[in-house]
Amino acid sequence: MLGDMRGGESEAHLRLKQRAVAWALEAGYTAIADEVRLPRSPYRVDIVAARFKDGTAEIAVFECKQARSDLLKDSATEKRTRAKLEQLHERRVAWEKQLAIHRPDLRAGETLFPEFDRYDFSDLRHEGFKAICAEMTRLKSRLYGKTKFAKLVRWRVAHTFHIVAVGGICTAAEVPEGWGLLVESGEKLEQLRLPVRIDCGDPAGALAAIARAGTRRLMKELHINLQPREALSDPEGLSRIK
The arrangement of strands across the sheet holding 44-53 comes to: 31-37, 44-53, 56-65, 160-165, 179-185, 188-193
Residue 192 has pLDDT above 90, yes or no: yes
The answer to whether 180 touches 193, Cβ cutoff 8 Å, is yes
Percent of the chain residues past pLDDT 70, beyond the cut? 67
Higher per-residue pLDDT: 77 or 131: 131
Residue 240: predicted pLDDT: 46
Burial class (CB in 10 A: 0-12, 13-18, 19+), 157: buried
Residue 235: predicted pLDDT: 38
Higher per-residue pLDDT: 239 or 54: 54
Burial class (CB in 10 A: 0-12, 13-18, 19+), 232: middle
Among the ranges given (10-14, 42-46, 234-238), the one the predictor scored with the smallest mean pLDDT: 234-238
Q: Sorting pLDDT into bands at 50, 70 and 90, what band is 112?
A: very low
What are the residues whose beta carbons fall under 8 Å from the beta carbon of 230, sequence distance 6 or more? 30, 52
Q: Sorting pLDDT into bands at 50, 70 and 90, what band is 226?
A: low
Residue 4: predicted pLDDT: 43
The answer to whether 215 touches 29, Cβ cutoff 8 Å, is no
Nearest of 242, 46, 18, 14 to residue 162 by alpha carbon: 46
Residue 88: predicted pLDDT: 82
Q: Report the distance separating Cα 77 and Cα 99, nearest Å.
A: 32
Mean pLDDT value across residues 18-39: 90
Residue 208 has pLDDT above 90, yes or no: no
Mean pLDDT value across residues 207-230: 68
Residue 73: predicted pLDDT: 53
Q: Sorting pLDDT into bands at 50, 70 and 90, what band is 61?
A: very high
Residue 54: predicted pLDDT: 82
The answer to whether 79 touches 87, Cβ cutoff 8 Å, is no
Q: Report the distance separating Cα 101 and Cα 64, nearest Å.
A: 34
What are the residues whose beta carbons fall under 8 Å from the beta carbon of 239, sequence distance 6 or more? none
Q: Sorting pLDDT into bands at 50, 70 and 90, what band is 202?
A: low
What are the residues whose beta carbons fall under 8 Å from the beta carbon of 94, sequence distance 6 or more? none
Q: Sorting pLDDT into bands at 50, 70 and 90, what band is 175?
A: confident
Compute the half-sphere exposure of residue 179: CA atoms within 13 Å on the CB side of its CA: 30
DSSP for residue 174: G
Residue 225 has pLDDT above 60, yes or no: yes
The answer to whether 81 touches 139, Cβ cutoff 8 Å, is yes
Residue 118: predicted pLDDT: 63
Q: Count CB neighbours of 193 within 10 A.
A: 20
The answer to whether 82 touches 174, Cβ cutoff 8 Å, is yes
Q: Sorting pLDDT into bands at 50, 70 and 90, what band is 168?
A: confident
